[in-house]
Amino acid sequence: MSEVALVLGGSIAGLLAARVLSEAYDEVVIADRDKVLGVTTPRRGVPQGHHVHGLLARGQQVLDELFPGFTGDALAAGVPTGDLGELRWYFNGRLLQPAATGLMCLSAARPVLEALVRERVAALPNVRFLEEHDIVAPVFSADDTRVNGALLRPRTTGGAELVVTADLVIDATGRGSRSPVWLGEHGYQRPDEDRIRIDLSYTSRHYRLADESILDGQLSINPVSSPSHPRGAFFSRIENGRCALSLTGVLGDAAPTDPAGYEMWIKSLPVPDIHEVLQGAEALTDPVQFRYPNSVRRRYERLRRFPQRYLVIGDAACSFNPVYGQGMTVAALEALTLRDHLRRGTPDPTSFHRDTAAVVDTPWDVSAGGDLSYPQVPGRRTAKVKMMNAYLAKLQAAATRDARVTRTFMRVFGLVDPPQDLMRPAMVARVLRGARQAG
């Protein structure tokens, strides 16, 4: 009898889960509320798709591992690339010294990157998509100890509900996941949540530059939000000769969506580079806004009881402040964790969620610590958080003078090298010396 795995949600986390599931199951079904096959434009189920996305270096490495030749496919599709440490990074309004890190940055629009992954997954002979289906609820066994599939409802008028029976069900439905509700309805405790309110906004627009030579070959310009300079931006070349600009505001501050107000916001950034680059550029889209109120981590690993044959991954388990660019890369690392568990048999949910929690720990510490550096953000600031933020402020100052500090910083925050590399005695000495010199 063939074994079936069902993935609820067809975004990056769901697609990567399906890729590794295809090695262990006879059939893998991906259910999504949207039409997804052949789609290369933003879709309703991914409202952040209009905005600049960062695939961290480790995420790009995992995509090449799961889909050999993936980077080559992206290059053939016109996706620009550059070294992560040689982008134009501004922290606290000051330019970091560029540094060759050996880490490639793929600068694709989110829908294009997602389409490249989806195309590879759709080509797998044992994977099929159920498009335009709402996920009503997982189907539990009579004694509520395991999940046996899910009830789906077609979005087309008059379509009949159907139950997809599966030997393993994975919730990859994103930050709107209803798993806590479903668990509660079947007698399970809802997971504890770590929640940090940052009230972030992204307001984005696409352009075509009058003359790309104004960038001097650079891939992007990134004045990053900080407590001293809360307004930030990410400007990147993307595929087909276009550029994308996402203006970021925190704590309720948001760039306007009218063109004149948008232009004034650009002028208010701590550095003039983006305003200068856009002189004479053709605006290809109207400004579009996306709000992100809270970073949320659901602590499934702490639950003492959990239904068998059911796992939660990606943003459904942990949704990061998107300015740190961690979500897709964490989803890729969770897919590798899933692969390890599948090679040992049917994954045990408790063990799996503990292992994915370990994957999330470092990125969450970075994201949460960065958000808590804003005094107005509510939350407990432990001694660890205070020490980390104080050290990172010195490190970023030192990186304005010392390219070796930039290199280490980018390799750690690209999730390639361990955080301990930032704290090695030689690096601490460079940071303290460079911070003094930077003033």
Domain ends where: 293, 328, 349?
293
**341 within a domain of the structure (yes/no):** yes
Domain ends where: 293, 319, 352?
293
Domain ends where: 268, 293, 318?
293
- The count of domains in the chain is 3
Looking at the fold, whether 149 and 63 belong to one and the same domain comes out as yes
Looking at the fold, whether 264 and 233 belong to one and the same domain comes out as yes
Range of the domain at 27: 4-67+112-194+296-363
- Tell me how far the alpha carbon of residue 86 is from its chain's centroid: 21
**76 within a domain of the structure (yes/no):** no
Looking at the fold, whether 37 and 19 belong to one and the same domain comes out as yes
The neighbour count for residue 77, using CB atoms within 10 Å, is 16
**178 within a domain of the structure (yes/no):** yes
Looking at the fold, whether 216 and 179 belong to one and the same domain comes out as no
| Token pair for 341 | 């568990």
Cβ atoms of 303 and 354 closer than 8 Å: no
Q: What is the pLDDT along the chain (439 residues), one digit of tens a residue?
A: 689 999 999 999 999 999 999 999 999 999 999 999 988 887 777 766 677 777 889 999 999 999 999 999 999 989 999 999 999 999 999 999 999 999 988 888 888 999 999 999 999 999 999 999 999 999 999 999 999 999 999 998 777 899 999 999 999 999 999 999 999 999 999 999 999 999 999 999 999 999 888 888 889 999 999 999 999 999 999 988 899 999 999 999 999 999 999 999 999 999 999 999 999 999 999 999 999 999 999 999 999 999 999 999 999 999 999 888 899 999 999 999 999 999 999 999 999 999 999 999 999 999 999 999 999 999 999 999 999 999 999 999 999 999 999 999 999 999 999 999 999 999 999 999 999 999 8
The neighbour count for residue 73, using CB atoms within 10 Å, is 17
Q: Count the alpha carbons within 13 Å of 171 in the hemisphere toward its beta carbon.
A: 30
Residue 274: give its domain's CATH number. 3.30.9.90
Looking at the fold, whether 190 and 201 belong to one and the same domain comes out as no
Looking at the fold, whether 202 and 230 belong to one and the same domain comes out as yes
Residue 354: give its domain's CATH number. 3.50.50.60
Looking at the fold, whether 118 and 13 belong to one and the same domain comes out as yes
Cβ atoms of 180 and 28 closer than 8 Å: no
pTM (2 decimals)?
0.94
Looking at the fold, whether 225 and 346 belong to one and the same domain comes out as no
**77 within a domain of the structure (yes/no):** no
